[in-house]
């Protein structure tokens, strides 16, 4: 069993770089034998408490509390939207330089629409030879900051503006996913939880936890394969 990369740890919380294709915790439906929660408990030799989640296919910063009181405070911070979350994603096409997506997301259990808000910025554009679905093979690296925490919010919001994430088999476009599999061997969802900014549960001081996408193996390999094809967006980022 591979050890998790610990990004930050103190007496109240621990943050890890979650690999893609790994659940946060096991469920009866998924049937996975391993999950981040189990691995981290065994790695640290103690109980840890999940305070938020990432989709199985999403990599990046994942936070756990180390005691019940800290867990309660951290869960409250997420619920009260006092945690700033930033993600990176590679999406189809040339994304706008920046924008706000204000589009309700339907709760999959209750079947009712929930308010959902995301802000995004385009950081770079990847221009490749050829066409996919009759369009130039252009893709964008975007940074997304969700203001709400709905299930699959980022994936659904980027689909809503016609820039679905590469590797998204549920909300994406099959032709572009196949193009990335065949050309770069990319079989994963190109969505990465880059950073969290949050009030510390004990001191209330602001804590910044970040992992650069190039430090995550699949992202690093993809960036190396596409080096020289990226053009930065001159929007002050």
3-state secondary structure 46-98: CCCEECCCCCCCCEEEEEEECCHHHHHHHHHHHHCCCCEEEEEEEEECCCCCE
Per-residue pLDDT tens digits for 24-70: 987 665 556 689 999 999 999 999 999 999 999 999 999 999 999 99
Least confident window among 83-97, 122-136, 208-222: 208-222
The distance from CA 72 to its chain's CA centroid, rounded to whole angstroms, is: 23
Per-residue pLDDT tens digits for 119-144: 999 999 999 988 999 988 999 999 99
- The Cα-based distances of 139 to 94, 96, 129, 188, 229 in angstroms read 6, 11, 12, 16, 10
Helices (H), the chain: 36-44, 68-79, 153-160, 174-184, 217-225
Which pLDDT belongs to residue 76? 97
The band of 214, judged by pLDDT with boundaries at 50, 70 and 90, is: low
Q: Which of 18-22, 81-85, 229-233 has the highest mean pLDDT?
A: 81-85
Q: Which CATH superfamily, name and number, covers 5-232?
A: Pseudouridine synthase (3.30.2350.10)
Residue with tokens 């640290």: 44
Token pair in block for residue 29:
């439906």
Task: Please identify which of the residues 32, 55, 115, 168 carries the catalytic annotation.
Answer: 55
Cα-Cα end-to-end distance for the chain: 39
The pLDDT of residue 80 is above 90: yes
What is the number of other CB atoms lying within 10 angstroms of the CB of residue 110? 8
Told to judge if 55 belongs to the known catalytic residues of this protein, a careful annotator would answer yes
Residues 172 and 158 sit within 8 Å (Cβ to Cβ)? no
The pLDDT of residue 188 is above 60: yes
Which pLDDT belongs to residue 2? 78
Which pLDDT belongs to residue 182? 92
The pLDDT of residue 236 is above 60: no
Least confident window among 8-17, 41-50, 157-166, 222-231: 222-231
Mean per-residue pLDDT for 215-229? 79
Instruction: Tell me the C-alpha distance between 3 and 14, whole Å.
Output: 14
Residues 86 and 192 sit within 8 Å (Cβ to Cβ)? no
Which pLDDT belongs to residue 202? 97
The distance from CA 120 to its chain's CA centroid, rounded to whole angstroms, is: 13
Least confident window among 1-15, 68-82, 146-160, 223-237: 223-237
Which pLDDT belongs to residue 67? 98
Q: What is the mean pLDDT of the chain?
A: 90
Which pLDDT belongs to residue 70? 98
Domain ranges of the chain: 5-232
Which pLDDT belongs to residue 227? 86
């Amino acid at each position: 069993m591979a050890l998790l990369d610990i990004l930050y740890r103190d007496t109240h919380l621990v943050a890890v770089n979650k690999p893609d294709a790994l659940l946060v915790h096991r469920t009866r439906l998924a049937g996975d034998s391993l999950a981040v929660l189990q691995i981290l408990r065994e790695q640290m030799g103690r109980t840890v408490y999940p305070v938020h989640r990432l989709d199985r296919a999403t990599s990046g910063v994942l936070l756990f509390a180390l005691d019940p009181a800290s867990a309660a405070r951290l869960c409250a911070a997420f619920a009260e939207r006092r945690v700033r979350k930033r993600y990176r994603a590679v999406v189809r096409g040339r994304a706008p330089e920046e924008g706000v997506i204000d589009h309700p997301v339907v709760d999959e259990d209750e079947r009712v629409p929930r308010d959902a808000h995301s802000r995004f910025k385009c950081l770079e554009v990847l221009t490749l030879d050829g066409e996919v679905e009759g369009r130039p093979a252009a893709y964008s690296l975007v940074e997304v900051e969700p203001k709400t925490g709905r299930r699959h919010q980022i994936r659904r919001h980027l689909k809503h503006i016609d820039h679905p994430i590469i590797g998204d088999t549920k909300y994406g476009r099959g032709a572009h996913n196949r193009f990335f599999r065949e050309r770069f061997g990319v079989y994963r969802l190109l969505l990465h939880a880059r950073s969290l900014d949050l009030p510390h549960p004990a001191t209330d001081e602001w804590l910044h936890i970040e992992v650069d996408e190039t430090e995550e193996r699949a992202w690093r390999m993809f960036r190396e394969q596409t080096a020289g094809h990226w053009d930065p967006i001159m929007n002050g980022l």
